[in-house]
């Protein structure tokens, strides 16, 4: 699956059911404006931690927005890993033991 396909699954399977409408709209905007332009055609299994770090660092001028975008991507990848078994890991999380992020 591509990131675009996983994002559609994320919206349909998780966001609509588990988030308030205002946050769901924000997630859709983040996906459309920040995540999909960077990663839409990339295969879910090919997305690396380095890709994510480069993408996140390009938003350094607005750190609040950068971290919100990272949180959305991290949640989507957590579901891809744990719920949908599309990945063996979550590259948006640094250490399995510590749970630290980028």
- Give the tens place of pLDDT for each residue, 41-100: 999 999 999 999 999 999 999 999 999 999 999 999 999 999 999 999 999 997 544 444
Which domains occur in the chain, in start order?
3-83 (1.10.150)
Q: Is 59 helix (H, G, I), strand (E, B) or coil?
A: coil
**CB 53 within 8 Å of CB 102:** yes
Cα–Cα distance between 92 and 63 in angstroms, integer? 16
Task: Give the residue among 86, 92, 41, 45 at the shortest CA–CA distance from 70.
Answer: 92
Residue where the block lists tokens 């770090």 = 53
Reported as a single tens digit per residue, the pLDDT across 2-40 is 999 999 999 999 999 999 999 999 999 999 999 999 999
């Amino acid at each position: 699956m591509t990131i675009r396909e996983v994002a559609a699954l994320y919206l349909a399977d998780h966001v609509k059911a588990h988030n308030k409408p205002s946050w769901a709209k924000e997630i859709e905007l983040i996906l459309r404006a920040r995540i999909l332009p960077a990663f839409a055609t990339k295969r879910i299994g090919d997305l690396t931690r380095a890709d994510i770090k480069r993408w996140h660092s390009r938003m350094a001028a607005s750190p609040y927005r950068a971290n919100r975008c990272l949180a959305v991507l991290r949640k989507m990848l957590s579901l891809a890993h744990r719920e949908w078994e599309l990945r063996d890991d979550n590259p948006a999380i640094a250490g399995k033991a510590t749970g630290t992020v980028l």
